[in-house]
Structure 1
Amino acid sequence: MHADASGLTDKLAAPMNAIVSRHRAALMPMLGGSGPAARAALENDEAVRKVAMFCYPLLPGIVRLAVKEHSFVNFVMNNRQHLLSRLTVDTPSAA
């Protein structure tokens, strides 16, 4: 089972990182907005699940064919700190 989890990480980490980078502005409100609030929201299963469900349709089609939404949501829930860490870092506003 550990090999399956490692394979899933290999398949999903890069696309998820790309989604987080591209859609930061849309994802931040789901985690409370600012860096400190986002860090706290990573402990909130409902907030992380909401982010995962937002991100799933943004995955490449071939990935969605291979990985069903339920598996993806579980993957994000289990790897939230690693996958969503970019969202929890305060960055200067671009606007």
Structure 2
Amino acid sequence: MQSKTRLTTTFLNNLKPNPRTAKSADYEVNLSAMKDSGLPTGVRCLVGKSGGKRFLLRYTSPVAGKKASIGLGKHPETDLFTLCKTAKEY
């Protein structure tokens, strides 16, 4: 589904909140796998139970060899252009 969908602000606005009955606090949407996203591998959008959306870059640390993540901002404060620019810097 996601690889055929284009990454747009409208797509992000239409993401539904995580159900209140869900075990996890957030669910992830892999933004880097979406069609024409231009984002590096590992960029995700986490959607919380209240509907809040935040962007993360997940990666494996070259020093420690452990999985880690970096916060890239929240939606809608961080637009797609800024998200792409920040993710590529890391």
Q: TM-score, normalised by structure 2?
A: 0.29
Q: Which structure has greater helix proportion?
A: 1
Normalized per residue, the structure richer in strand is: 2
| TM-score (normalizing by structure 1) | 0.28
